[in-house]
């Protein structure tokens, strides 16, 4: 037979059949073991002080936590399974369970995603990025600083992973035009890390940088009836965000000092791209106007009209003015994330209403009842550590039910606990899997994992110190005392 017919040599697996089957069915074996363990726990009597519904809610919570952390099945599917299991296990009634999915936070998240998709699909965000870089990035240091600040400030108004994806395209073009080698260019590393850290830091400043903040506030509202306005959340976050932005870039510039003298070729390339885009279109102007009016509405009328209502009206306006198509929206909005958040809110409510969350708090944190500040610190540290390993939405879903139950036992303001969990959950600096922004930056090929971990650990220590100082001295001035 001719070699043309054999593209790859045939490989024969000589392992015993049982080992081959074991390898190929490992996923199903794990799921079967988890199911058996949960079934055994379900058959046991509830511990003292825990109701039957609370016992079942806790078992379901443990199973979902394992699936969220392991990633054996998608996060959204885990959340949907939790919603189906809650009424089947007798934790809450069907009507009550599925009504929780329609939480206001979910529709705010959906509206924010669609607005960000409109900015991306219309080309407005890319035009803004190129214009700012050409105008302010005349030298290597100024270009890197502009990338960093632009990534951060765009993440104030758009999902951080959308900003990272858009900025990655622009910066990758600059890097190619400068002929920077992936293997040894410190300046290339600085540019890509500036995207990642800018997005991470800016992403916690408002409700729009990521869905974790609206998710946490939705759980807060569902559990206690308390709330945050758009401005209240931003005012609480800025004392952490602004110093982190300053220290973050200075530290990055020290870790990855520039090794080129000029970025003129990169600026010329961006200038040509701007000319090719032509003048700003009517569609882009309309999207910009709708975005500005929406932000103003969230800041000044959010409490009276509701953040979700404003977001839905804004998304409707996009279609009324025909500046975006539903097909374009479908390409940019992650519908699985929406399902995941809806299920997480429902599971958290089930833990709260069944008494399971209160029981967990009593068992795990009872020894710290004399030190509320230490409890705040522990919850913030848990959030910061977990977010490097699992989705920040899963971190919120795991910790928020426990945090909300501490009001009754320790008198901790639930709004303060919401900040203590939600803000650190967004500060994933170390690992590519910590946040989509890190993964996008790592895909450039310029960075090794250790080059992300070591600087990330340093800035996380600073972020934690900054958080604790803000919680102790700044938030009490805003009525958020411990």
Instruction: From residue 106, give the alpha-carbon distance in Å to each of 208, 288, 308, 422.
Output: 13, 24, 8, 16
The Cα–Cα gap between 330 and 74 comes to 19
The Cα–Cα gap between 345 and 347 comes to 6
53 part of a folded domain: no
- Domain holding 196, by residue range, is 101-478
Q: What is the per-residue pLDDT for 119?
A: 86
176's enclosing H/E stretch is helix 160-177
113 part of a folded domain: yes
14 part of a folded domain: no
Task: Count the domains in the chain.
Answer: 1
Q: Which residue has tokens 């009842």?
A: 369
Number of helices (H) and strands (E) in the chain: give both, helices first: 24, 0
The model's pLDDT over 381-408, given as tens digits with 9 standing for 90+, comes to: 988 888 887 777 778 888 888 888 776 6
- In DSSP notation, 198-244 reads HHHHHTTSSTTS-THHHHHHHHHHHHHS----HHHHHHHHHHHHHHH
C-alpha 129, offset from chain centre:
22
Percent helix / strand / coil, the chain, rounded to 5: 75, 0, 25
Q: Is the dihedral of CA 456, 457, 460, 465 positive or negative?
A: negative
48 part of a folded domain: no
CB of 114 closer than 8 Å to CB of 318: yes
459 part of a folded domain: yes
Q: What tokens appear for 198 in the block?
A: 């800018």
Q: What is the per-residue pLDDT for 365?
A: 64
Q: What is the per-residue pLDDT for 200?
A: 93
Nearest to 64 by CA among 44, 91, 46, 45: 91
Instruction: From residue 295, give the alpha-carbon distance in Å to each of 32, 239, 257, 302, 438.
Output: 48, 20, 37, 9, 27
The Cα–Cα gap between 193 and 147 comes to 10
Residues in the chain where the model's pLDDT stays below 50: 1-3, 5
369 part of a folded domain: yes
The Cα–Cα gap between 358 and 405 comes to 5
CB of 101 closer than 8 Å to CB of 345: yes
3-state secondary structure of 12: coil
The Cα–Cα gap between 215 and 104 comes to 10
Tell whether pTM > 0.85. Answer: no
13 part of a folded domain: no
The model's pLDDT over 432-460, given as tens digits with 9 standing for 90+, comes to: 767 778 888 888 888 888 888 899 999 99
């Amino acid at each position: 037979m001719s070699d043309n017919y054999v593209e790859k040599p045939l490989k024969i697996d000589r392992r015993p059949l049982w080992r081959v089957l074991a390898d190929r069915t490992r996923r199903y074996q794990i799921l079967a073991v988890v199911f058996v363990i949960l079934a055994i726990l379900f058959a046991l009597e509830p511990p003292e002080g825990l109701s039957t519904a609370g016992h079942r809610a806790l078992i379901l919570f443990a199973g979902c936590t394992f699936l969220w952390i392991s990633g054996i099945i998608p996060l959204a599917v885990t959340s949907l399974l939790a919603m189906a299991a809650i009424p089947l296990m007798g934790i809450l009634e069907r009507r009550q369970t599925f009504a929780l999915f329609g939480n206001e936070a979910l529709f705010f998240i959906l509206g924010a995603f669609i607005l960000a998709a409109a900015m991306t699909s219309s080309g407005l965000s890319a035009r803004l990025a190129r214009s700012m870089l050409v105008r302010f990035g005349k030298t290597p240091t100024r270009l890197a600083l502009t990338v960093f600040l632009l990534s951060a400030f765009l993440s104030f108004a758009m999902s951080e992973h959308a900003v990272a994806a858009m900025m990655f395209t622009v910066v990758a073009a600059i890097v190619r035009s400068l002929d920077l080698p992936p293997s040894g260019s410190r300046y290339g590393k600085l540019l890509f890390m500036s995207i990642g850290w800018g997005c991470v830091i800016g992403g916690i400043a408002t409700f729009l940088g990521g869905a974790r903040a609206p998710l946490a506030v939705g759980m807060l509202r569902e559990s206690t009836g308390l709330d945050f306005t758009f401005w209240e959340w931003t005012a609480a976050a800025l004392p952490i965000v602004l110093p982190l932005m300053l220290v973050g870039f200075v530290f990055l510039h020290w870790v990855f000092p520039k090794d080129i003298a000029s970025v003129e070729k990169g600026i010329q390339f961006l200038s040509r791209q701007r000319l090719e885009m032509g003048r700003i279109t009517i569609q882009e102007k309309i999207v910009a106007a709708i975005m500005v009016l929406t932000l103003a509405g969230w800041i000044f009328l959010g409490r009276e009209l509701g953040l979700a209502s404003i977001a839905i009206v804004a998304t409707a306006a996009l279609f009324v003015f025909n500046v975006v198509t539903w097909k374009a929206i479908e390409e940019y909005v992650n519908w699985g994330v929406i399902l995941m958040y809806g299920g997480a809110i429902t599971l958290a409510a089930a833990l709260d209403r069944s008494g399971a969350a209160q029981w967990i708090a009593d068992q795990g944190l009872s020894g710290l009842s004399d030190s509320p500040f230490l409890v705040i610190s522990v919850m913030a540290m848990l959030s910061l550590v977990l977010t490097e390993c699992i989705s920040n939405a899963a971190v919120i879903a795991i910790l928020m039910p426990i945090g909300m139950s501490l009001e009754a036992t320790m008198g901790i303001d639930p709004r303060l606990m919401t900040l203590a969990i939600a803000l650190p959950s967004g500060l994933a600096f170390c690992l590519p899997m910590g946040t989509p922004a890190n993964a996008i930056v790592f895909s450039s090929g310029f960075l090794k994992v250790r080059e992300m971990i070591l600087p990330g650990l340093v800035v996380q220590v600073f972020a934690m110190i900054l958080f604790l100082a803000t919680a102790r001295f700044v938030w009490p001035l805003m009525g958020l005392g411990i």
